[in-house]
Amino acid sequence: NPWTQARLRTAEMTDVRAIINQLAARRKQLGLTQTEIARRCHLTPNAISQLERRNFAGTRVSTLLAYANAIGARITIETGDTE
């Protein structure tokens, strides 16, 4: 069902936005720059900047996990029944 898939994608993107917002807030709280995070994640500062500006289409889970690790945070992924 295309409608269900569209709603699912919207929910997933909302969750990704929330995660990125929390990561960026924590980075700022720690006084770290985007360049420092990029170096720790082996990414470019531009990639971190775009991620934080919500240009995260195609962002890999591994990127979010690396970012979290770089600031001493943890992301937990849970799966549940699909029924």
Interval 31-51: pLDDT, tens: 999 999 999 999 999 999 999
Neighbouring C-beta atoms of residue 66, cutoff 10 Å: 15
Interval 20-26 mean pLDDT: 92
pLDDT at 82: 58
Interval 67-81: pLDDT, tens: 999 999 988 877 666
pLDDT of 21 higher than 50:
yes
pLDDT at 71: 94
Best CA proximity match to 27, nearest among 57, 65, 72:
72
Letter for the amino acid at 32?
L
Residue 8 banded pLDDT, cuts 50, 70, 90 = very low
Tell me the C-alpha to C-alpha distance, in Å, between residue 16 and each of 20, 31, 44, 48, 54: 6, 23, 20, 14, 9
